[in-house]
Amino acid sequence: MTTGHRAIDETMLHAYADGLLDAADRTAVEAWLAEHPAQLAEVAAWQRQNEALGALFDPVAKEPIPARLGPQLIADRRGPASVNLTQLAAAAVVLIAISGSIGWFSRDVIQPAEAASDLLIDNAVAAHRLYVLEKRHAVEVAATEEDHLESWLSNRIETPITAPDLAPEGFTLVGGRLLPEGLDTKSGPAAQLMYQNAANERLTVYITGALPDGATSYEFVTRSGVDAFYWANASITCTVVGTLPDADMQTVARKVYQQLTWRPDTHFDYPRGT
């Protein structure tokens, strides 16, 4: 079916899910979806994903861009011998992506997630399902040794991290562990942090160093009965995994994102040039 000169294809369905169609095209798409229940369910899932990503990242997108992400500062850190126009252009793309809308709304300026993102999400979900049920051996290093835990994991994944503070959301750090590199991710080993609330509900934060391309991407999926919020940038990849109600998962994931991504420049040196 077509609307005027436009065919109702996947691109148009995405535009409908994003609220980008005019009234005539929107009406035509809704009529077409009424006759195609499978596609209707898929579009509804896209809309729920948009809402979740918006709730997670939109407040952060409105914040000032940190000084450490300035193209000139990035160039200075790399040194004059390694600076070229391609690198500066890449930094500019990152700035555009951060200052624009997040998720599907920014897919024209953010590189789409590579296959490695799916592998990382799978690894994060598998590790969550494996360890979240453990009682005595849920973590390798307990939260009572938090300083050691952070130093150890930062060194092993070659990416400086601190355990996000989720106390305002009712979660305390249980501890963490080191996990091996997942197959074909090229991101190195991973750190898993585990949190628990008063109701004994647990969530995990799966962190690796940046992927080789350093691309910025965001994803929210449900796999094996658990929700996973994933993002990647030139410093880090992170997947927050849990089975909390949607609003709680969004709140916790946003807090993790803010603390791992927007920390002051003086807190850590960023070895990957971010």
Q: Would you state the pLDDT for residue 113?
A: 41
Q: Would you state the pLDDT for residue 109?
A: 40
Q: Would you state the pLDDT for residue 33?
A: 83
Is residue 273 situated within a structural domain?
no
pLDDT of 263 strictly over 50: no
Q: How far apart are CA 231 and CA 248, in angstroms?
A: 18
Domain containing residue 235: CATH number: 3.30.200.100
Is residue 251 situated within a structural domain?
yes
pLDDT of 228 strictly over 80: yes
Its domain, for residue 239, covers: 53-261
Q: Would you state the pLDDT for residue 71?
A: 55
Residues 17 and 101 both lie in one domain? no
Q: How confident is the model over 36-87, as pLDDT tens digits?
A: 877 877 777 777 667 666 666 666 555 555 555 555 555 555 555 444 655 5
Q: Would you state the pLDDT for residue 21?
A: 83
Residues 101 and 203 both lie in one domain? yes
Residues 36 and 132 both lie in one domain? no
Residues 8 and 142 both lie in one domain? no
Residue 230 contacts residue 205 (beta carbons within 8 Å): no
* More reliable by pLDDT, 64 or 259: 259
Q: How confident is the model over 91-120, as pLDDT tens digits?
A: 555 555 544 444 444 443 444 444 788 899
pLDDT of 26 strictly over 90: no
How many structural domains does the chain have? 2
Q: Would you state the pLDDT for residue 117?
A: 87
Q: How confident is the model at residue 209 (pLDDT cuts 50, 70, 90)?
A: very high
Residue 161 contacts residue 139 (beta carbons within 8 Å): no
Question: Between the CA of residue 97 and those of 65, 102, 230, 233, what are the distances in Å?
Answer: 11, 8, 16, 11
Residues 82 and 170 both lie in one domain? yes
Residues 106 and 218 both lie in one domain? yes
Residues 42 and 114 both lie in one domain? no
Residues 162 and 257 both lie in one domain? yes
Residues 157 and 31 both lie in one domain? no
Is residue 16 situated within a structural domain?
yes
pLDDT of 206 strictly over 80: yes
Residues 96 and 16 both lie in one domain? no
Instruction: Say if pTM beats, i.e. exceeds, 0.75.
Output: no
